[in-house]
Structure 1
Amino acid sequence: MVPDTIDHLMTLGLKKDEAEVYLELLAEGTSTVGALAENTGRHPDSVHSCFEALADAGLVSVVNADRTSVTPIPPGPGLDLLTRRRDLELTQARITAMNAFDVFRRSISGDPAEHLIEVINGPAVVDRIYQLERSAHTEVRGLDSPPYYADADANQVELDNLAGGVRYRVVYAKVALERTEYLAGNVVPAAKSGEEARILPDVPVKLMIIDDDCAVVSLSAGDADANQSALLIRPCSLLSALVGLFEMCWRAALPLSLGAGTEGPYLQPSERRLLGLLAAGIGDDQAARSLGVSRRTLFRHLESLMSRTGAANRFQLALHAMRNGWI
C-alpha cells in the first residue's frame, strides 16, 4: 500500500523523499526536524527541505517561527494545487515536444515556407488555441466574433494571463455582445480583470495574435458549420499583415467600458455597463437582458441618468458620459 501511495504522490509532482517524509508525518503527526531525522535516520537538512516543499504544496502547516516543526493538514487544497502544477508541466512538455518536431520538420523540408502555416482541425482547435495563449509573455490581441469553440464561461487562461501582467486588447464584433451568456460569462469578467475592449459593427476576420510570435485565424460563422478548423500563422509577411489589420481595427473601434473603471461620484457600476452597452450600439431589449433587468427598469435607469446629468436625449447623455470619461 505504501509504495503505491508514494508512486501516486510522485505522479502529482512530489519527489520520492518528500513523499516518504509526508507519509512518516501522517504516521507520527506533528513533528520537528530533529525528531523526524532521529527517528528515520535522515539528515536534518534533508528533512527541513522536505518540510518546506510540503508546506509549499499545501500538505502541511508550519507551527513555529523557525519553520522546524510542521503538522499535516487536510490535503484537498494541496492536492488540487499539485494537480494544477502537474497539468501545467505536462502542457509545457507538450509545447516543447511540438516545438522540437517543428525544428525537425524544418530541417528535412525542402520548402522553407512549409512550416509557416498550419491547419488545425476538429476538436484539437480549442486545446491548441488555449495552449498557444498560455505561452503569451507580453500581449494578446484579438478580433472577436462568433462562432465560439468553447462554452460561454470566462476564459480562465486569459484571466490568469491578465493577473500575470499580460496585456489584452480585443475588438469585439457587435454580434458577439448580443449574446447574453457570452457577454456576462466571458466579456465582462475579462474587462473587469483588465482587458482593453473596443467594438466595431463587424470585424473582417476572427483572429488572435500571441505576442509577435504567431496568429490564429478561425473560420467565420458562416463557414464554421461546414468545417471547424483554424489556421496557425507563424512569423512571416502574412503575420505582419494580420498585425497591421488588427491595429487598423483597433484605431477605428469605439471603447467598450464594461470593467470596474474609475466611476464618477454618483455613477453606479450597472449604470456604467448600461452606458457602455448603449454606446456599443446594443438595442434596448438586448441591453436589458444583459443587465438582467426588465425593459421598464432599463428605461427608468436611463431617465435617472438623463435627469442627473441634465441631458435632454440619449445623444446628450452620451456626450456627457464621454466628456467625463465614463465610456
Structure 2
Amino acid sequence: MHASDLADHLRRLGLGMRAVATYEALLSSGPMTVDQVATAVPGSAQDGAGMAELLEVGLVAPSGDAEPRYVPVPPTTGLDLLALRRQAELHQARVATLQAYEAFRRHWHTRSAEDLVEVVTGSAIPDRIHQLMRDTPREEVRRLDSPPHFYTVLRNEEEERHLREGISYRVVYSRSSLRRPRYLQENIIPCMRAGERARTLPRVPVKLTIVDRAVALVSFTIDDTERNDSLLVVRPCSLFRALEGLFELSWRSALPLDIRGGTHAHRLRARDRMLLTLLAAGADDDSIARELGISKRTFFRRLSELMSLAGATSRFQLALHACRNEWL
C-alpha cells in the first residue's frame, strides 16, 4: 500500500491531516520524541494537535523514558474508536438532513402527513359522511358495502340524485348486505334503476367508499365489529392508492348483480332474475323467499322450474348457467 493510500484511508476514518502526517512519520522512523516529531513533520510542534489526536484515539503511546518517546501501538482499539466516531457523525448528518427536509416539507407542502388520515368517531360520523358525499363527488363513487350501516334510513336519495347528475357509482355488496331486511328492495334496487353498477361477493374485506380520486372512507365490517365507533377519512397518499387497488380487485372478483329485468330468449320474469341474483350472492332460502314476498314452497317450486329450464341438476350448475347465459 502506498503512503498516500494510507493517508486517504486514515482521513476517511476522520483523522486530521496533522495526525495523519505524525502517524506516518512514526510508522516510517520508529519511536520519536516531541522534538524529533517536530523536525519530521513541519508545523506539528506549534500546537501539538496531531500528537494529541493520536493519543486520544489510542494509535500511539508514550514510553516510560525520562524524555518520553512516542511509539505506535496495535491499532485495533484506535481504529474501532475512529469508526464509531465516524458512524456517530454520519448518523448526526442523517438526522440533520431529515430535519432540514421536514422543515422544507412543512413550509412548502400545504398538507402535512398528519392531515392525510382523519379519524372521526361516535355521533359525528354520519354528519361527516354526509358533508363529504355532498361536497366531493364529481365523477365516480366506488364502494364496498357491508353492515353495520351508519344510517337507519334505507332509501339512499343522495346517491340517486348523484346518479341523475351523471356521477358514476360502482358498488360491491356483501352477502350480509343483501340479507338485511328490506335493504335490497328499498336501497339497492332504486339505486340500480337509477344507473348504479352493482356486483356481489360473499364478503368484502373492509367497508370502503372512494369518492373520485380525492378521499376514501374506511370502517369495520360486521365481521369485525357490531358497532360503528370510528371512521377513517384518507386523503391521496400511498394508503389511498392501496385502497383503490383493493376495490378494483374486489370488483373484478365479484359477480354481476342485475335485477333491472331486460329481455332474454326465455324471457325470465323480474322476480326470477331477483331469485337467481340472490342465489348467486349466497343468500339462504328463507332470506330469498322473504325478499321475493313468497312462501318457501313457492320458492322451491320456482327454483325447480328454473333448474329444469337450464338443464341443471344442482344449484351450482344453475348459477353457472345463469351467469353464462346472461340471466343475471
- TM range, normalised to the smaller chain? 0.5 to 0.7
> SS at 2:113's partner residue?
coil
CA distance in 1, matches of 2:157, 2:148: 18
> SS at 1:221's partner residue?
coil
Gaps of 5+ in 2: 1-105
**CA distance 1:172–1:110, change in 2 (3 Å):** closer
The alpha-carbon deviation at position 210 of structure 1 amounts to 0.2
Report the TM-score when normalising by structure 1.
Answer: 0.62
| Alignment partner, residue 271 of structure 2 | 270
Equivalent pair of 1:152/1:185 in contact (CA under 8 Å): no
**CA distance 1:326–1:152, change in 2 (3 Å):** farther
| Alignment partner, residue 190 of structure 2 | 189
**What CA deviation, in whole Å up to 9, does each residue of 1:202-243 have, x standing for no partner?**
111110000000000123336655662201101111111100
| Alignment partner, residue 324 of structure 2 | 323
Q: Is the deviation greater in 215-224 or in 131-140?
A: 215-224
**CA distance 1:289–1:170, change in 2 (3 Å):** same
CA distance in 2, matches of 1:285, 1:185: 19
> SS at 2:268's partner residue?
coil
* Letter paired with 1:171: V
CA distance in 1, matches of 2:286, 2:176: 14
The within-5 A match list for 1:214-229 is 214-221=215-222, 224-225=225-226, 228-229=229-230
Equivalent pair of 1:177/1:183 in contact (CA under 8 Å): yes
**CA distance 1:307–1:189, change in 2 (3 Å):** same
CA distance in 1, matches of 2:120, 2:252: 30
Report the TM-score when normalising by structure 2.
Answer: 0.62
* Letter paired with 1:289: R
The alpha-carbon deviation at position 293 of structure 1 amounts to 0.9
**CA distance 1:231–1:281, change in 2 (3 Å):** same
The runs of at least 4 consecutive aligned structure 1 residues that moved more than 6 Å come to: 106-111
The within-5 A match list for 1:11-22 is none
> SS at 1:140's partner residue?
strand
* Letter paired with 2:243: L
Q: Does residue 154 of structure 1 match 2:155? A: yes
> SS at 2:187's partner residue?
helix
| Alignment partner, residue 237 of structure 1 | 238
| Alignment partner, residue 121 of structure 1 | 121
> SS at 1:266's partner residue?
coil
* Letter paired with 1:269: A
The alpha-carbon deviation at position 127 of structure 1 amounts to 2.1
Equivalent pair of 1:144/1:207 in contact (CA under 8 Å): yes
CA distance in 2, matches of 1:225, 1:109: 39
**CA distance 1:181–1:107, change in 2 (3 Å):** farther
The alpha-carbon deviation at position 324 of structure 1 amounts to 2.2
Question: How well do the aligned residues superpose, as a CA RMSD in angstroms?
Answer: 2.4
| Alignment partner, residue 23 of structure 1 | none
CA distance in 2, matches of 1:225, 1:301: 35
Gaps of 5+ in 1: 1-105
The alpha-carbon deviation at position 245 of structure 1 amounts to 0.8
CA distance in 1, matches of 2:312, 2:195: 30
| Alignment partner, residue 93 of structure 2 | none
CA distance in 1, matches of 2:195, 2:301: 30
Highest Rg: 1 or 2? 2
CA distance in 1, matches of 2:110, 2:145: 36
* Letter paired with 1:136: P
**CA distance 1:261–1:133, change in 2 (3 Å):** farther
CA distance in 1, matches of 2:143, 2:219: 11
CA distance in 2, matches of 1:177, 1:207: 17
| Alignment partner, residue 58 of structure 2 | none
CA distance in 1, matches of 2:110, 2:160: 41
**What CA deviation, in whole Å up to 9, does each residue of 1:270-324 have, x standing for no partner?**
1110011111111111111111111011112222323444444433433332232
| Alignment partner, residue 250 of structure 1 | 251
**CA distance 1:110–1:171, change in 2 (3 Å):** closer
> SS at 2:115's partner residue?
coil
Aligned length: 222
Equivalent pair of 1:118/1:231 in contact (CA under 8 Å): yes
CA distance in 1, matches of 2:184, 2:305: 24
CA distance in 1, matches of 2:226, 2:314: 42
